[in-house]
Amino acid sequence: MIELRHLRTLLALRDTGSLVEAAERVHLTQSALSHQLKDLENRIDSALFVRKSRPVAFTRTGTRLLALAEQVLPQVRAAERDVARLAGTEHGRLHMAIECHSCFQWLMPTVDHFRDHWPEVEIDIPTGHHFDPLPALAREQLDLVITADPQPIEGIHYAPLFRYEGLLAVARQHALARQRCVHPEMLGDQTLITYPVEQSRLDVFTQFLRPAGVAPAEIRTAELTIMMMQLVASGRGVCALPSWALTEYLERDYVSAVPLGEGGMWSTLYAALRENTREAPWMQDFLRTARDTSFAVLSGIRPADGDAAVSA
């Protein structure tokens, strides 16, 4: 009567608070998700939640099934891991690099959860490396790279983790703070603060400024997000960051944020891995854990559609 997909859908509905976002989370259309929930309600002859409530208000029946989902789904995941171990495929190495200065907010909880379930997999995040991560991945010096800039390299697969919006952080008293959105030409007289990486790896250049033929008046770099926020708050520049990296500063009313362009500037974050390790159970579990943890700890992100295999 009750299937695992129903339990996963209910958890997605609770976590997102809306049918639209829950449908994205479980990779269904809103119509298909509504049909699935209605089918379950017909099976059990009881409503699961109050229609047109936001956030979604669950009935006593819905609350009971949510409790079941919280109990059963972790046990299913644990059983899947045990089956992989019994098949003798548990050993592995996960040395990773991160081409994302603000990714540690969700990556560290991901690694902690993964290590609890796969203690036999060797995990390392080397620091201070002086090589390009993606070629190092192809040479088997690394096993996984977190990147928003997939390159066509033979034997490398890019598994999308989630989509995120880049926002422009400005001082609360800045003139741009009053804009509904920012257009490229509005940054022509601004100091743009960025991480110290190549402009070709920064979405604000590749997706926003360069297509419009615009360059900022000045570029200033900072190593840490908190340093960037201090500069922005004091009116010494503006910066484009993923929405999740700005959440705590916006909640404290430290800075303001404005969308980049009419439709916003959206990008996809990927986990790059070698094709020969793609189907390893521990690697698949790491990717699933990364997605689950990201949606649990980050705000403003969206599910990525499907897989993106890029090869030479």
Residue 87 has pLDDT above 80, yes or no: no
pLDDT digits (tens, 9 = 90+) for 120-134: 888 888 765 556 889
pLDDT of residue 311: 44
**DSSP symbols for 48-74:** -EETT-SSPEE-HHHHHHHHHHHHHHH
Computed over every residue of the chain, the mean pLDDT equals 88
Mean pLDDT of the 256-263 span: 95
Mean pLDDT of the 27-46 span: 90
Higher-confidence residue of 117 and 86: namely 117
Measured distance between the N- and C-terminal CA atoms of the chain, rounded to whole angstroms? 47
Higher-confidence residue of 121 and 145: namely 145
How far is it, in rounded angstroms, from Cα 87 to Cα 82?
Answer: 9
Higher-confidence residue of 50 and 104: namely 50
Mean pLDDT of the 249-267 span: 94
pLDDT digits (tens, 9 = 90+) for 263-307: 999 999 999 999 988 888 888 889 989 998 888 888 888 888 654
pLDDT of residue 183: 96
Residues 271, 157 contacting (CB under 8 angstroms): no
The closest of 44, 39, 49, 7 to 26, measured between CA atoms, is: 7
- Beta-carbon-side half-sphere exposure of residue 284 (alpha carbons within 13 Å): 11
Cα–Cα distances (Å) from 197 to 100, 148, 193, 219, 272, in that order, read 10, 13, 11, 12, 19
Percent of the chain's residues with pLDDT above 90: 53
pLDDT of residue 104: 78
